[in-house]
């Protein structure tokens, strides 16, 4: 397996034990009646998913050559997808799951940092655009909140670009601006490595050394330039210190495109309560990650089920409020996820379980897509108040750019 496709892969897939492990809970899943009701609600309020790594596979398997590739077919019985560790997504399964919007991840691993990252990220943006162009009846390329609403009306999958992660810009604000012009609408500040301006979650566990201790001064400028552009600041993958620093300096709402609640399962990739509680004022959103190893203990023995995701959703709701939670599956980037949420067809199972937990239609609509659309509109409104501001001209101090030994860690999370 190429290093490039090892993302948030669990240790167990690496040793080939990732399937047929029964869940420890006795939950039988939501009733058929609830699933039918959930599907009707999601037909009205489609899912917007904050993070999907499907296009990473296009690079791994096809070197981004889409000749003869058909995304509008159930890929789960077709190679190479059938044997892929994360065969989760295609157009039929997205339709089954009521997906109306997807942030497709332009992802390149930390291996490329300080090397050819800038080119590789642009190639991933290019392949996302070609994938959408190849499927004009089902997908439409979108760069603003209004475009998402239009896509809903047209019954097409609003397809947006999220850049993962900050090493995509090298150390250049000019590259950040060009990524925005190419249509990127969020950038995750780090992946599993520190950048020279922002620390990753792994500094919290000691897997990486502290480098900027949160955001450096240049890192703060990057956040403020993203605000000026109208690019969503994505705080998934960063350390709690980086989250707090970004929230101190941001002028617009922030997002977590694929993270869950740390007080439900204590993992550095999840969001601590003290950060969740600040989302109410900042008007941000945490889009809940389904990766078993982020949501339940002993993920090798127990992949969890939809009730485990319900617990994360409810905790974020309890601490931040019902207006600040969304969905960010991480499909195609992870090898194991809870029973009932194995692929992009699964969202109605989660929404049915939430219905049975007492959620109203209006609240489920917010979770599915309403909150993300509101946050996106708020970020656009801030951008529109900043039009007289000049682009930041600063360059990162050269002594801060030195590569460090910790630049490339391939930890399973
Ligand atoms: C896709 O194919 C799998 C079998 O490989 C099947 O279980 C599933 O129901 C199919 N999904 C859709 C949406 O066609």
For residue range 81-114, list pLDDT tens digits in order: 999 999 999 999 999 999 999 999 999 999 999 8
Q: Is the CB of 345 under 6 A from ligand 1?
A: yes
Strands 184-188, 325-327: pairing kind: unpaired
pLDDT of amino acid 283: 96
Helix (H, G, I), strand (E, B) or coil at 394: coil
pLDDT tier at 21 (50, 70, 90 boundaries)? very low
H helices of 63-144, in order, are 91-96, 117-133
Read off the tokens for 261: 């609640």
Ligand 1 mean position, distance from CA 13 (Å): 22
Q: What is the pLDDT of residue 404?
A: 62
SS3 221: helix
Whether 93 lines ligand 1, by a CB cut-off of 6 Å, is yes
CB 348 within 8 A of CB 38: yes
Among candidate residues 282, 283, 288, the one with its CA nearest the CA of residue 264: 288
Q: What angle, rounded to 10 degrees, do the helices at 117-133 and 54-62 form?
A: 100
**pTM score, whole prediction:** 0.92
- Sign of the torsion formed by the C-alpha atoms of 187, 191, 195 and 200: positive
For a pocket test of ligand 1, which of 74, 84, 138 has the largest count of ligand atoms closer than 8 A to its C-beta? 74
CA-to-CA dists, residue 381 to 125, 331, 384, angstroms: 25, 30, 5
Q: What is the DSSP letter of 366?
A: I
CATH dotted code for 10-15+26-392: 3.20.20.140
Which DSSP category does 339 fall into? B
Taking a C-beta distance cutoff of 8 angstroms, is the pair 163, 185 a contact?
no
* Closest ligand 1 atom to 92 CA: 13
- Given a cut of 90, whether residue 76 has pLDDT beyond it is yes
Ligand 1 centroid to Cα of residue 11, in Å, is 27
Residue 407 pLDDT exceeds 80: no
Residue at token pair 């002993």: 298
Domain extents for the chain? 10-15+26-392
| Cβ 306 vs Cβ 338: under 8 Å | yes
Residue that has been written with the tokens 């599915």 in this structure? 368
Residues β-bridged to residue 159: 102, 141
Return the bridge partners of 103, or none: 160
CA 363 from chain centre, in angstroms, equals 21
Atom of ligand 1 nearest to the CA of 82: 5
Distance from CA of residue 76 to its chain's centroid? 22
Task: Pick the closest to residue 23 from 276, 309, 355, 281 (CA basis).
Answer: 309
Q: Give 365's contacts (C-beta < 8 A, 6+ positions apart).
A: 41, 44, 45
* pLDDT tens, position by position, 133-187: 999 999 999 999 999 999 999 999 999 999 999 999 999 999 999 999 999 999 9
- With a 6 A CB cut-off, is 153 part of the ligand 1 pocket? no
Give the mean model confidence (pLDDT) for residues 48-61: 97
Nearest CA to ligand 1 atom 12: 93
Q: Is the CB of 96 inside a 6 Å radius of any atom of ligand 1?
A: yes
For residue 390, how many other CB atoms are within 10 A of its CB? 6
Cα separation, 262 vs 266, whole angstroms: 5
Q: Does the beta carbon of 15 lie inside 6 Å of ligand 1?
A: no
Spell out where 216-320 has E strands. 232-234, 254-256, 285-288
As annotated, the active-site residues are 51, 53, 164, 191, 237, 258, 330
Q: Nearest 5°: phi and psi at 237?
A: 80, -15
User: Tens digit of pLDDT for each residue in 93-102?
Assistant: 999 999 999 9
Tell whether ligand 1 has an atom less than 6 A from the beta carbon of residue 300.
no
In what helix (H) or strand (E) does residue 187 lie, and over which residues does it extend? strand 184-188
**In three state form, how does the secondary structure of 24-65 look?**
CCCCCCCCHHHHHHHHHHHHHCCEEEEEECHHHHHHHHHCCC
**Helical ranges in 302-365 per DSSP H:** 306-320, 347-356, 361-365
pLDDT of residue 23: 46
How high is the pLDDT of residue 27?
A: 87
Instruction: Find all residues with CB under 8 Å of 369, minimum gap 6, and list them.
Output: 45, 46, 47, 48, 100, 101, 148, 152, 326
End-to-end, the C-alpha distance of the chain in Å comes to 17
Residue 367: DSSP 8-state: I
Better pLDDT: 273 or 2: 273
CA of 67 to the centre of ligand 1 (A): 24
Q: Per-residue pLDDT tens for 202-238?
A: 999 999 999 999 999 999 999 999 999 999 999 999 9
What is the per-residue pLDDT for 413? 40
CA dist 196 and 222 (Å) reads 12
Q: Whose CA is nearest to atom 13 of ligand 1?
A: 93
Query: Atom 6 of ligand 1 has which residue's CA nearest to it?
Result: 76
């Amino acid at each position: 397996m190429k290093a490039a496709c090892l993302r948030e892969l669990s240790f167990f897939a690496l040793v080939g034990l990732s399937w047929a492990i029964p869940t420890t809970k006795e939950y039988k899943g939501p009733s058929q009646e609830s699933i039918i009701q959930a599907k009707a609600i999601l037909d009205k309020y489609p899912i917007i998913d904050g993070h999907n790594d499907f296009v990473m596979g296009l690079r791994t398997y096809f070197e981004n050559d889409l000749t003869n590739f058909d995304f509008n077919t159930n890929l789960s019985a077709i190679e190479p997808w059938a044997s892929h560790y994360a065969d989760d997504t295609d157009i039929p399964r997205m339709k089954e799951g009521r997906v109306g919007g997807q942030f497709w991840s332009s992802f390149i691993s930390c291996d490329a940092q300080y090397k050819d990252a800038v080119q590789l990220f642009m190639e991933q943006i290019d392949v996302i655009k070609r994938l959408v162009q190849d499927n004009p009846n089902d997908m439409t390329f979108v760069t603003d909140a209004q475009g998402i609403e239009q896509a809903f009306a047209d019954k097409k999958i609003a397809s947006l670009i999220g850049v993962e992660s900050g090493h995509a810009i090298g150390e250049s604000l000019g590259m950040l601006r060009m990524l925005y012009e190419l249509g990127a609408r969020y950038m995750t500040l780090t992946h599993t490595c520190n950048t020279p301006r922002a620390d990753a979650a792994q500094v919290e566990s000691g897997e990486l050394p502290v480098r900027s201790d949160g955001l450096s001064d240049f890192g703060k400028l990057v956040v403020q330039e993203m605000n000026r552009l109208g690019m969503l600041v994505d705080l998934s993958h960063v350390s709690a210190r980086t989250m707090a620093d970004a929230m101190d300096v941001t002028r617009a709402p922030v997002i977590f495109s694929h993270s869950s609640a740390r007080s439900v399962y204590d993992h550095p990739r999840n969001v601590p309560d003290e950060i969740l509680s600040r989302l109410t004022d900042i008007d941000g959103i945490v889009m809940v990650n389904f990766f078993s190893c982020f949501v339940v203990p002993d993920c090798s023995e127990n992949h969890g089920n939809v009730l485990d995701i319900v617990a994360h959703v409810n905790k974020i709701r309890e601490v931040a409020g019902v207006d600040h939670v969304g969905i960010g599956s991480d499909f195609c980037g992870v090898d194991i996820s809870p029973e009932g949420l194995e692929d992009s067809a699964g969202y109605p199972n989660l929404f049915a379980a939430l219905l049975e937990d007492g959620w109203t239609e209006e609240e489920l609509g917010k979770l599915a897509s309403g909150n993300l659309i509101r946050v996106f509109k708020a970020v656009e409104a801030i951008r529109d108040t900043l039009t007289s501001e000049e682009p930041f001209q600063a360059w990162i101090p050269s002594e801060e750019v030195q590569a460090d030994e910790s630049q490339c860690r391939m930890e399973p999370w």
